[in-house]
Amino acid sequence: MRGILFGLLSAVLYGCASSPSGPGQVATETFMIPAADPGIQLHVRNRHVAGQDSYAPEKIVLMVHGATYPSETGFDIDLPGGSWMEYMAKRGYDVYSVDVRGYGRSTRPAAMEQPPASNPPFADTQDAIRDVGSAVDFILKRRGVQKINLIGWSWGTTIMGGYTAQNNAKVDRLVLYAPLWLLREPPPFSGAGAYRTVTKEQAFGRQVRSIPKDRVAEIVPAEYFDKWWNANLATDPVGASRTPPVIRAPNGVLKDAVEYLGKGKILWDPAQVRVPTFLILAEWDADTPPFMAQEVFSKLVNAPHRRLVILPEGTHAIALEKNRMQLIEQVQLFLEEGRR
């Protein structure tokens, strides 16, 4: 298939990403920015070399999370190899992440303080696309640029893909990590209720269910998972105070899965994307299996460049696993390609 790098990459990956930009310390900044809808504030996190405030568009990145956990704990958690955001910042990038409404440290509506069944789902894909739009516009204004790079994980690929399809002029390159697409079977949930809760045991069971049982401890070291889970609890004090502690997540994404993805209705059109696009996932991904990435790839007919990579020995959450650096390095190669 033309334009596709498709297969199980070994630990020796093609090329190598650039070295850190120098001895400068990586700074962390956080912002609460207004969403397009009144009364909602969005949590934006920024990592960049301390003292540097001017960046070319191709050196600026915005990342967004998936359906359940916030961006901070997926992209800026200090596991072996460093956090993903810090890794990019050390290579001269201005790196941002945003939490969609109802996630992480962004505004959580009053409905999340009530029983889930008392209110309808909220924070669906269209809401999320608007939230990303608010973050993009904030970054464009802050840095005085016209476009930036986007990275989405899981549901975040639908968000970033949908935003790009509507705003190609504001996007330089697009990265879709574990792309979500149409379901082949009806989803095993109703999507009803304002939000759902996830315990540590549920989160772990879901992550490791596709890993050979004798490899679980190797692929998902306990210290990795515990650190990630505790970081999530720190972003949801209300959920953390429950017994057992839980993470709360809006159900808008589940509503969309039932009403759209489970019925063969697309939430965004890849044919409308006109920027270089990179799709990447791991072979044991049971949440967004490889067929989804292949279908999205085949529909990116107007992207000037497209590539699909499948990594070995990882799940939907390879960014948090033993082989995480393969993902991070491959994405970095795509962002830097042709720019050195």
pLDDT in tens, 247-300: 999 999 999 999 999 999 999 999 999 999 999 999 999 999 999 999 999 999
Q: Is 44 exposed, middle or buried (0-12, 13-18, 19+ CB in 10 A)?
A: buried
Q: What CA–CA distances, in Å, run from 151 to 73, 90, 174, 223? A: 15, 18, 6, 26
Tens digit of pLDDT for each residue in 63-94?
A: 999 999 999 999 999 999 999 999 999 999 99
Q: How confident is the model at residue 24 (pLDDT cuts 50, 70, 90)?
A: confident
Beta bridge partners of 49: 26
Domains and CATH numbers, the chain: 26-336 (3.40.50.1820)
pLDDT at 15: 40
pTM comes to 0.94
CB contact at 8 A, 294 and 311: no
pLDDT at 12: 32
pLDDT at 45: 99
> 42 pLDDT exceeds 90?
yes
Q: How confident is the model at residue 336 (pLDDT cuts 50, 70, 90)?
A: very high
∠ CA 35-153-37 to the nearest 5 degrees?
A: 10
Residues 6+ apart with CB under 8 A from 244: 199, 200, 201
Q: Where are the beta strands (DSSP E) in the chain?
A: 26-34, 41-49, 60-64, 94-98, 148-153, 171-177, 195-199, 246-250, 277-282, 306-311
Q: Of 321, 335, 314, 331, nearest to 81 (Cα)? A: 321
Q: How confident is the model at residue 339 (pLDDT cuts 50, 70, 90)?
A: confident
Q: For a pLDDT cut of 70, what percent of the chain falls above it?
A: 93
Tens digit of pLDDT for each residue in 147-172?
A: 999 999 999 999 999 999 999 999 99
CA distance linking residue 300 with residue 275, whole number of Å: 10
CB contact at 8 A, 251 and 195: yes
Q: Is 3 left (phi over 0), alpha (psi -120 to 50) or beta?
A: left
Q: Which residue has the tokens 């990435």?
A: 293
Three-class secondary structure of residue 317 per DSSP: coil
Q: Is 186 exposed, middle or buried (0-12, 13-18, 19+ CB in 10 A)?
A: exposed
> 5 pLDDT exceeds 50?
no
pLDDT at 23: 54
pLDDT at 9: 42
Mean pLDDT (the chain) is: 94
Tokens in use for 149?
A: 């790079």
pLDDT at 13: 36
Three-class secondary structure of residue 247 per DSSP: strand
- 8-state DSSP, 20: P
Q: How many CA atoms lie within 13 A of 50 on its CB side?
A: 6
CA distance linking residue 62 with residue 268, whole number of Å: 19
